[in-house]
Amino acid sequence: MHRFMPHQPDLNINNPLVRNEIHKVIGFWLELGLSGFRIDAVPFVIEQVGGDHPAVADPHDYLRDIRGFAQRRRGDCMLLAEANEPLEKIAAFFGDQHGDQMNMLFSFVTNQALYLSFVRGSAKPVVEALRALPPIPAGAQWANFIKNHDEATLDKLTDEQRDEVFEAFAPEPSMRLFGRGIRRRFPNMVDGDRGRLEHAYSLLFSLPGTPVLFYGEEIGLGDNPDMKGREAVRPPMHWSGEHAAGFTTAREVDLPRKLVRDGPFGYRSLNVEEQRGDSNSLLNWMERAIRVRKEWPAFGWGAWEVLDAGNESVLAHLATWDGSSVLAVHNFAGEPARITVQLPADAVDGRWRHIFGPGDGEVPEFRERRLAVELPPYGYHWFGGREGV
């Protein structure tokens, strides 16, 4: 009665006693102050075997049960679910138009399109993925990510597309898993290239939805290929360059998950302590990106549209909400790209200004609601405007 590993037996969620025990676990952690839960492999949680139980008629009833209990205990409790399902099935896990099940779902479709866009140097796969996403209930959100704690799955791509990504980001068979995924962290995939890292995470923070970071991404943490399977992307966090990366006082040889010790991703040169003191570090860049995004909530809440940039390498998208608009432009190519973007009539009429971008180079400006600029390889910029300001 297991779905994954033999030592992980399935639970009969149709049994009221089982539901009560799970409620107790949820209530315990909410009492300790947690803000919510990530629900793993949610389609398999509600998967039914046999048709002789009345609950089988509506397996999603259990997700409404979890949502109802959790939010009665804490009104702002958030449920983020992993449901790597086809597009025609995915919206059901939000609760369709009612929005009474999961608050957020990981957007695997967007994530996999990002990898294809990174490899091709073209914004087209991401644009197609964003436009293909089904409508979601008010208050629900897509959770965007570059990497999570498993392999970077590419199951939604065609065989040919997957081979393209493998060739670029996982050229050796040992870097792949299950025939569909990459067991590497993104910094390793791009050889620690700072320009490509900034480009990727600038996209993450500006795409429609909510950005999700996997621990260590904020410093460019690498993977450990010597670990088996998925464990390769789960090394201990690098807090400092001291013993065991400041993670523990235990002997390094005793750690069940081995440290990344040597090379450009080793903990002696890549750690939180070093980057906190460096104003140009990736950690400080991440903090600035997060701060600016919070100042412009249209990124997450706004009605969005993709604008014509006159260049297939560049994604230009606009989001408008509550009297403010934001525009983000990103060049996926490893060569310069000249673009021209005209703001549509529904963008706000206030003064537009540059709000985030690379720390060096000329800052582009709008002229008569029109942006004309040459973006460097993997270049990016955010702009914002507010009514009457």
Instruction: Give the residue numbers annotated as catalytic, written as ranges.
Output: 40, 82
Q: Which residues contact 98 (CB under 8 A, 6 or more apart)?
A: 137
Tokens of 190: 């791009």
The answer to whether residues 271 and 219 touch, using CB atoms and an 8 Å cutoff, is yes
- Smallest Cα–Cα separation from 256: which of 223, 221, 222, 231? 231
Rounded to 10°, the helix 124-132/108-120 angle is 170
Q: Taking the CA atoms of 147, 150, 151 and 152 in sequence, report the sign of the dihedral they define.
A: negative
CA 57 to chain centre: 33
Tokens of 375: 């973006």
- Smallest Cα–Cα separation from 105: which of 58, 40, 158, 59? 40
Rounded to 10°, the helix 61-73/16-31 angle is 30
The answer to whether residues 202 and 195 touch, using CB atoms and an 8 Å cutoff, is no
The answer to whether residues 122 and 332 touch, using CB atoms and an 8 Å cutoff, is yes
The full 3-state SS of 78-123, as one line of letters, equals EEEECCCCCHHHHHHHCCCCCCCCCCEEECHHHHHHHHHHHHHCCC
Tokens of 226: 């010597």
